[in-house]
Amino acid sequence: MIADIEARGGDAEELKKTRAQIADSKWLAKHPKPPGEEEYIEAMRQQAVIERGKDLECMICHQKFDHLLSGTCEVCWREWMLGAKPRD
């Protein structure tokens, strides 16, 4: 169809753009988008070991907390997880 339009001297640029958009959307549908930061953090939080108690010490910042995620406070744990997140 594009070749026919161009053979007659027409402009098929819009049709080419539409075809490219359709191809991109089909490719994206087959390849799931990597999780964003919040989705990644939520998935990692579900896998973390949660310790509860009093005066638990964060292994990174050494401050005291009532609960720890894998031995670290919320802030340190989040920085740790985002630092370990695979690149998109």
Claim to verify: residue 22 and residue 49 sit in the same structural domain:
no
- Residue 28's pLDDT is 63
In this structure, are 25 and 44 located in the same domain? no
Q: Is the domain of 28 the same as that of 49?
A: no
Rounded to whole angstroms, how far apart are CA atoms 2 and 11?
9
How far apart are alpha carbons 33 and 13 in whole angstroms? 28
Identify the helix (H) or strand (E) that includes residue 44: helix 37-47
Strands of the chain, DSSP E: 50-57, 64-69
Judgement on whether residues 52 and 87 belong to the same structural domain of the protein: yes
How many domains does the structure of the chain reveal? 2
Residue numbers of the domain that contains 66: 34-88
Distance CA 19, CA 3 (A): 13
Structure pTM?
A: 0.57
Per-residue pLDDT of 23-75, as tens digits, reads: 777 766 676 666 688 888 999 999 999 999 999 999 999 999 999 999 999 99
Pair 19, 58 in one domain? no
Same domain flag for 25 and 9: yes
